[in-house]
Amino acid sequence: MEILVCVKRVPDTSENEIEINKDGSDIERDDLVYSVNEWDNYAIEEAIQIRDNVGGAVTVVTVGDEESEEVLRREMAMGADNGLHLLDSAFDGSDGRGIATILKAAVEKGNYDLILTGALADDGAGQMGGMLAAMLDYPYASLVNKIEVIDDKKIKAGREIEGGNQEMSEMDLPCVLSIQTGINEPRYVGIRGIRKVASVEIPTLTAGDLGIAPESVGDAGAKVKRMDYFMPEMGEGAEMLEGSTDEIIEKLIEMLKAKGGIK
Residues 26-82: tens digit of each pLDDT: 788 877 888 899 999 999 999 999 999 999 999 999 999 999 999 999 999 999 999
Average pLDDT, the chain: 91
Q: What confidence score (pLDDT) does residue 52 get?
A: 97
**What's the pTM?**
0.85
Give whole-number Cα distances, 141 to 127, 185, 221, 253, in Å.
Answer: 12, 21, 27, 41
Domain boundaries, the chain: 2-221
67, amino acid identity: E
Cα of 209 vs its chain's centroid, Å? 24
Name every residue whose Cβ is closer than 8 Å to that of residue 209 and which is 6 or more positions away in sequence.
Answer: none
Report pLDDT digits (tens) over 104-151: 999 999 999 999 999 987 777 889 999 999 999 999 999 999 999 999
Query: What distance in Å separates the CA atoms of residue 19 and residue 17, rounded to the nearest whole number?
Result: 6
16-54: b or e for each residue (b if 16 or more CB lie within 10 Å)? beeeeeeeeeeeeeeebeebbbbbbbbbbbbbbbbbeee
Return the number of other C-beta atoms located less than 10 Å from residue 1's C-beta: 19
Q: Which residues pair with 3 in a beta bridge?
A: 58, 114
Answer CATH for 2-221 from 3.40.50.620, 3.50.30.30, 2.40.110.10, 3.20.20.10: 3.40.50.620
Nearest to 59 by CA among 203, 183, 172, 188: 203
Q: What confidence score (pLDDT) does residue 169 get?
A: 96
Report pLDDT digits (tens) over 235-256: 777 778 889 999 999 999 988 8
Give whole-number Cα distances, 228 to 56, 66, 71, in Å.
Answer: 44, 26, 28
